[in-house]
Structure 1
Amino acid sequence: MSTEVLARLRQHILAQGLKPGDRLPTERDLAAGLGVSRGTVREALKVLEVIGAVARSPRRGAVLQPVDFGILAEVSRFLMVRTSAVFSEVFVARRVLEVSVLPLAVAHASPDHFRRMEAANHLMEAEIDGDGSPVDGDMAFHRALLAAANNSLLEQFGEVIQEFFRDPRAHLFVDAEMARQTVEEHREIAEAIRAGDLPRAQRVLERHLDRYVHRGLVQTSSPEESTEARHDVASNVVASPARQGVFDD
């Protein structure tokens, strides 16, 4: 099966205006419409099922599903394990993305975005006080931060990248004091955005994200280099982090 068949199937879905919850035509009808065999259509639907784009059942056939960024991230992580791509590259992508959206967040953040950020902080605090892992609260804050940019494409990119950090976050927040410091930095970032203080928001967010380097979850070009030398993380990170605890469950 070629990617061309998937592309044609995607165009068919767009042309018909189909949305999550809508049922696709039968394999026979799709094969006739796309000019391919039923076997080829079946293989294409299997691919879409694996990535969570459709759900199939004997009675209903193939039904379009809402985007599940967790599944997309898992597929991407599997591909990264099979190639030379490594977690340090994902870290740099996240750092560049989140710092770069701050000007948009300063310009567009609404009271609702700030309420979402603070609700995420309260969730983190409840998880910390309950001896739980504050991963969900941390992810919720960064989702709200990306949402404040009012750019759905950036938000979707960020959602996929966020999923890569679920396991590293769990390692980071084993230290409850570190988790509490994270909440404090979240509030400092939000206040800087609210005040329109972009340089301050960028400084705090960079320091906030660089903790993954300082805690050894992302390796720099020289593990022995000083904390000061590690400040420029984006230029120092190299493709050689330990994969244990990052890609493995």
Structure 2
Amino acid sequence: MFDGTSSKFQSILIRINEVIEQDGLKPGDRIPSERELVSRLNAGRSTVREALRALELLGIITTKRGQGTFLQPHQFHRLVDILSFYILQDDRAKDNLLETRVILETVAAKKAALVATEAEIAALEECWNAMEKSVYQGQIPIEEDYAFHHQLIQSAHNYLLTRIWYPLIQYGKTVRQSSLSQPSRPQKALEEHRGILDAVKRRCPQEAADRMEQHLAAAGLPTPYD
């Protein structure tokens, strides 16, 4: 249970959000100053200051010396990153991490086949070409593999999905490196990526999802139905 100080602090955070909504502020806009918030919220300066510090820690606002405090674009928010850090301290959650990635990426592949723009499909093609070049040069395409999956996630046009996926892929980096380091695995992974890309290009959502699940299973990730 929260004590009185915590409850008051939470209340101020909620009320600052209400001020932002009431003023119709958008990312990049300057928010009211600390002094103005103290007056509008009828709150103590120290409580308002701590609330603003918390919002800045989360990447929701940023302070520019001599200019004021501004709302940050959504991509700078660290809410998911911070929450994932605490969630993944649990051993059971760690065991489920890779399975969660499979679920997210198969859904993303399916949706990308439905909504990806021609420009996004072209970007996926470029990612695949870079991966092909790396493989034929005898390199392990760690970064190229990441770029392909990242572009596919973005092509699903779901911001929250992208934000949830990012910390998952970072925590699973060791698994990805281990898989691609196996003999003949880079070539097979290249072919699997080609299959996913072709399914997206042909607007075949179920095939794209199936090929993604098969690709991740071949990379050693658990399927959600095992």
* TM-score, normalised with respect to structure 2: 0.77
69-78 or 114-123, which deviates more = 69-78
- List runs of 5+ in structure 1 lacking aligned partners: 219-229, 237-249
- The partner residue of 2:142 within 134, 150, 161 is 134
Matching residue of 1:54: 61
Contact 2:27-2:72 within 8 A present in 1 as well: yes
Q: After TM superposition, which residue ranges in structure 1, 4 or more long, deviate above 6 angstroms?
A: none
Deviation, 1:34, is 2.4
Which consecutive unaligned segments of at least 5 residues does structure 2 have? 1-5
Is the helix fraction higher in 1 or 2? Answer: 2
Question: Bigger CA drift: 167-176 or 42-51?
Answer: 167-176
Does residue 103 of structure 2 align to residue 96 of structure 1?
A: yes
CA shift digits 1:193-215 (9 cap, x unpaired): 22233343222110222345x2x
The reply to whether residue 26 of structure 1 matches residue 58 of structure 2 is: no
8 Å CA contact 1:143–1:155 kept in 2: the answer is: no
Residues of 2 paired with 1:191 and 1:89: CA distance? 29
Distance 2:91 2:21 in 1: 34
1:93-172 → structure 2 map (5 Å cutoff)? 93-125=100-132, 129=137, 131=139, 134-135=142-143, 137-150=144-157, 154-172=158-176
Do 2:88 and 2:94's aligned partners in 1 also have CA atoms closer than 8 Å?
A: no
- Are residues 18 and 193 of structure 1, via their aligned partners in 2, closer, same or farther at CA, if it must alter by over 3 Å? same
Aligned to 2:224: 234
Q: Percent identity?
A: 27
Distance 1:47 1:39 in 2: 12
Asked if structure 1 preserves the Cα contact closer than 8 Å seen for 2:154 and 2:162, the reply is no
> 1:15/1:187 Cα in 2 relative to 1: closer, same or farther (>3 Å)?
farther
67, 70, 92: which one aligns with 1:63 = 70
- Taking structure 1 as the reference length, the TM-score comes to 0.71
Is the 1:54–1:65 contact (alpha carbons within 8 Å) kept by the matching residues of 2?
yes
Checking the alignment, whether the CA contact within 8 Å between 2:123 and 2:151 is kept in structure 1 is yes
For residue 206 of structure 1, what is the amino acid of its counterpart? Answer: E
Amino acid at match of 1:138: D
Instruction: Give the root-mean-square deviation of aligned CA atoms.
Output: 3.0
81 and 90 in structure 1: CA distance in 2 versus 1, 3 angstrom threshold: closer
